[in-house]
Amino acid sequence: MTFDVTHPDVQRVIDAALAEDIGSGDITTKACIPSRLPGEARFVARQDLTLAGAELIALLFEGAKLRKHSGDRLVAGDEIAIVRGPAQMLLTRERVTLNFLQRLSGVATLAAKFVAAVEGTGARILDTRKTTPGLRVLEKMAAAAGGVVNHRMGLYDAILIKNNHIRLAGGVRPAIEMAQSAQKPIEVEVRTRAELEDALACGAARVLLDNMTPEEAAREIEFIGRRAETEISGGITLANVRAYAEARPDFISTGSITHSAVAVDINCGIHAL
């Protein structure tokens, strides 16, 4: 997924963020800044980071000049964008813009660290649905900017049979047999060798090895022998992801990319022209 600012969810989220912050008006700015005063805002990275969301600046400000784009690796001091316009408008939209840039670049930065940690193993990092409510499209775009592969966007675009589905359906085999009516590739979560054997026998396209140690996952991947794609999930961290990657799965998924990313430090300096 590229950083697609034409996606309808993007403008919806921007509009909601502006309404949330501005409400009936920016009373401080209106009280002390002349309405005709022109200004210039410069967005600058204050730490090393992977950028995401820079394209939103052009939606928030007319005439924005982007110096960097989503996916770029920045060092402290790199200029991201310059915006010129009414000083009141720059001040009123500064925080919303920074909230997007700092949050999304935090996701991209963490994603890039996971990708770097497994380099050379052939394993690809996946994000998950563990996203901030209402921000999934943007956070998944940010994860992709960091180099990960987007997993399913929601419940509507892929079949993933998880442990609760298996329990309610009465087992792996009946769950897969019923899901086959959707005529889509089936991924199924397995926790034991017996569940894995049922998944393979029923033709699962991908098996999700959940909450296994790297050694356990390696044994199961060897047993699978390319009969299905393999994905490892559960307890994945930057500290252990390399060990899991060396088990040679096709994919490793981790929710931490979106649910535990720390906002990065980006500054917006505004001055009068």
Catalytic residue set? 95, 130, 162, 189, 210
Residue 196: CA count within 13 A, CB half-sphere: 22
Neighbours of 188 (CB within 10 A): 27
Neighbours of 174 (CB within 10 A): 14
Among residues 184, 242, 180, 233, the alpha carbon closest in space to that of 211 is found at 233
Residue 172: CA count within 13 A, CB half-sphere: 21
C-beta of residue 15 within 8 angstroms of C-beta of residue 134: no
Give rounded-to-5 percent helix, strand, coil for the chain: 40, 20, 40
* Six token digits for residue 273: 């022209």
DSSP letters of 224-263?
HTTSSEEEEESS--TTTHHHHHTT--SEEE-THHHHSPPP
Backbone φ and ψ for 252, nearest 5 degrees, come out as -130, 125
